[in-house]
Amino acid sequence: MPKKVLETININKYFYDPVKFRVLSDINMSINEGEFVSVVGKSGCGKSTLLYILSTMDTAYEGELLINNVNLTKKTDKDLAIVRNEHIGFVFQFHYLLAEYNVLRNVMLPGIKLAKYPLKEIEHRAMEHLRTLDMADQALKSPNQLSGGQKQRVAIARALINDPIIIMGDEPTGNLDKKNSDMVFDIFNNLVKERNQALLIVTHDPDFAARTHRTIEMADGKIIS
Amino acid sequence: MNFKLIIDIAINLIRARLKQSIIAAVGVTFGIAMFITLLGFMNGLNNLLDGLMLNRTPHVRLYNEVKPSPDQPVLISKEYKNNINFIQSIKPKDRGREIYNSKAIINILKQDKRVIDVAPKVTAPVFFNTGSIEITGVVNGIDVPAEEHLFKVSDYIIEGNVFDLSNENNTIIIGKGLAEKMLVKIGDVIKITTIKGGLVSLKVVGVMQIGIAEIDNTMSYTSLRTAQMLLGESASYITDIQVKLTDVLMAPEVAKEYQEKFKIDVIDAQTANSQFETGSKVRSIISYAVGITLLIVAGFGIYNILNMMIYEKMDSIAILKATGFSGNDVKWVFISLSLIIGIVGGLFGLLFGFGISNIIDIIPFETASLPTIKTYPIDYKITYYVIGFTFAVCTTTIAGLFPALKASKIDPVEIIRGK
């Protein structure tokens, strides 16, 4: 039986402003390692909200969240930061690279923070990731000098640096054209195949979703399929 | 916590906003430089003015005060013991100005471990005669080596040598004002009338200038023996015993002790020069206040710039948090950022402060009243540099703390979703 990397038990979330409103109701789901899962749904159905809860950045929810079989509900900000650093990789719709650092350094940053390997080793691993993503020749450029698709690949490399057990994406292709979007999909697909990492991608793109292993469809804060 | 990484991020944030960071640091530099210059200059002047009085006054002086006897006959009388007695027109008792048993007192004082040295002195009011005019003045009979050791009298001798007083009897060093009035120069002989009417001729071997006209117009120095002879007294006649202590702060306590021990009037330097102390204190307070105000203003500058930087760097903060930096880490990034600005600005401030002090130190400052001073006085006390730097680091830390706390509380979800 494959190992569960992420599991939720009865997650509920409310927005209180302007009136009390139930955004997520009784979310129960799990993701196994090596699984490529997409989350689809209309705008406002709560899919991004769910993703931020799963990413541990949003802690204002009811219910329980387990990553790597560790219950993260009620952990401190500091502990959650360590979990994010070590076990979760992020790719956002917008690229969110640090303009102060060059591409290589951006990729290395979470690795330096984790400090599992010496700096030289981190640099080597970062270059390896950039090479697989065909970005090695851009390593010393500043993020501003890259195109949108290139930036997204750098962001993916950064998400991979600490070998996370799960990679989460909030519409990572939402801002890209068809060609770049396909490229990002292929990269994700390879990750699942070669590294056995889990992927959880929120998307609007039905084509993208159709090609993933499993699609979770949401409506009005509930998982409908 | 990985401080190396945090400081690296802080440095990169500074590099990205180099101009603003430099302006913030310049604010601190300016504050510290002014703080140090101001304090150095103010205290240089303070020390100069204090020195003018304090270095020439003994820490403790033993003498006989002219005052009425505390025990009036009627108070001693048994008959009127229970009455309330009013006595009018009391006159001071003539006890003479001589300190009795002065030799023994001096010997005891010299054995006291707190005492650096003791200098006996004879003061006598006299008239200096020039033609038909008599000028009132004072003769100070001094023990030249002891006086030189304690008060560095040679600093104030502008012509001649103070040791000529002890080398030759019947010699005198007179104040510059006196010399000008009487039109005398070294080698001339002047006539002096004592208050008892004796007439003595003394040879002028030097001219001195202290810088206070009132003193320069009346003061003169002779050897102890010459002064005693002038008054027709024996070699044991002493009117003042001047004591210098290892620590001037002990003076009031020591003075009290001697007063009880020797049954004699004793005054300490603090009491004798209380007005100078007050002046110095007020000047110090003013310069500290101005310096600290400058640093606080610099602190506000840093606060503003950091606040702006945080608004600009919201995305970066969100990313740092999303990739595994805790709120605490982000807080430390901004605190180290402002500390770097504070430390760099502070170090340059120390350097500039020292530089400006040095420039002031070589500006000529020549005044007739201060013959030993050639340039503006500066106090290079290390304490000012330590206080200035400490305060700079403290203000910048506090100025950075509030923006840093704000940054640490930024919710990454809000920023990432907000796009």
- Beta strand B219-223 with B133-142: parallel, antiparallel or unpaired? parallel
**pLDDT at residue B1 in the model:** 60
Per-10-residue mean pLDDT for chain A, 225 residues long? 82 85 86 88 84 86 86 85 88 79 89 86 89 85 85 87 88 81 85 85 86 87 81
**pLDDT at residue A95 in the model:** 59
pLDDT tens digit string along B203-213?
Answer: 999 999 887 78
Q: Which two tokens stand for residue B206?
A: 């030097």
Name the residue with tokens 């610099």.
B298
State percent of chain B over pLDDT 70: 97
The pLDDT confidence band at residue B386, using thresholds 50, 70 and 90, is very high
Residues A97, B327: C-beta atoms closer than 8 Å: no
Give dist(CA A57, CA A88) in Å, integer.
11
Reply yes or no on whether the pLDDT at B172 is more than 90.
yes
Contacts of B321 in chain A (CB under 8 A): 57, 81
Chain A nearest-CA distance from B15, in A, is: 8
B412 close contact with A: CB closer than 8 A: yes
Mutation for A interface: B319, B333, B419, most A CBs within 10 A: B319
pTM (2 decimals)? Answer: 0.71
A57 close contact with B: CB closer than 8 A: yes
A23 close contact with B: CB closer than 8 A: no
The pLDDT confidence band at residue B189, using thresholds 50, 70 and 90, is very high
Give dist(CA B326, CA B5) in Å, integer.
13
Name the residue with tokens 């030289």.
A120
**pLDDT at residue B220 in the model:** 92
> How far is C-alpha B409 from the chain's CA centre?
50
Q: Which A residues, 78 through 117, put their C-beta within 8 Å of a C-beta on chain B?
A: 78, 80-82, 84-86, 90, 92-94, 96-101, 109-110, 112-115
Residue B29: CA atoms inside 13 Å, Cβ hemisphere, count? Answer: 16
Task: Go through the domains of chain A in sequence order and give each one's CATH number.
Answer: 36-59+74-223 (3.40.50.300)
**pLDDT at residue A172 in the model:** 82
- Beta strand A88-91 with A166-170: parallel, antiparallel or unpaired? parallel
Name the residue with tokens 């056995």.
A196
Instruction: Report ipTM (2 d.p.).
Output: 0.85
Chain B nearest-CA distance from A78, in A, is: 5
**pLDDT at residue A146 in the model:** 86
Give dist(CA B102, CA B100) in Å, integer.
5
CB B209 within 8 A of CB B371: yes
The pLDDT confidence band at residue B173, using thresholds 50, 70 and 90, is very high
What are residue B251's DSSP bridge partners?
none
